Amino acid sequence: MPAGYSGTPLPKKLGIVAGTVFAVRHPPEGFDVTLGDLPPEAVWRTQVRRGIDVAIAFHTRRRRLVREWPQLTAAVAPNGTVWVAWPKRSSGVATDITEDVLRDELLPTGWVDNKVCAIDETWSGLRFALRRELRP
């Protein structure tokens, strides 16, 4: 699969490196193809459960994201990250999520955004990590 605008393979953009354990919630159809080849020993779990390094959650509705956020963050290791993907305006996909909405809803939970990326032509992603002072 092409690496997109930046030329960087999508797994690398998302922080999926050799040995990473990750889970994807609500992936769009064909996301496995979009993601492409995984690094050696990377593990794609089918369910979001404790012990993952990276969670990737695709959302089109603010309410659902806010409802599911505690489960996502509880599953991620203290130094792990959560990517929230939402449809770009240009995609034509109905959504009430924007980058500002993500910050308004999620920053007060103790998580901070630290990277944005284009996942594909439809989806953008914003990465969140637990604030350093809140990590065990």
Express each pLDDT in 62-88 by its tens digit. Answer: 999 999 999 999 999 999 999 999 999
Interatomic CA distance for residues 55 and 61, integer angstroms: 18
Contact 101, 64 (CB under 8 A): no
Query: Is 57 within 8 Å of 64 (Cβ atoms)?
Result: no
How many whole angstroms separate alpha carbon 77 and alpha carbon 61?
25
Sequence ranges of the domains in the chain: 10-134
Confidence at residue 7, expressed as pLDDT on a 0 to 100 scale: 82
Q: With beta carbons less than 8 A apart as the criterion, state whether 21 and 50 touch.
A: no
Tokens for 17, please give them: 């490196």
The side-by-side arrangement of strands in the sheet containing 111-118 is 43-45, 21-25, 52-58, 76-87, 123-130, 111-118
Q: Cα(5)–Cα(3) distance, rounded to whole angstroms?
A: 7
Q: What is the pTM of this model?
A: 0.94
CATH superfamily, domain 10-134, is Vaccinia Virus protein VP39 (3.40.50.150)
pLDDT at position 2 is 46
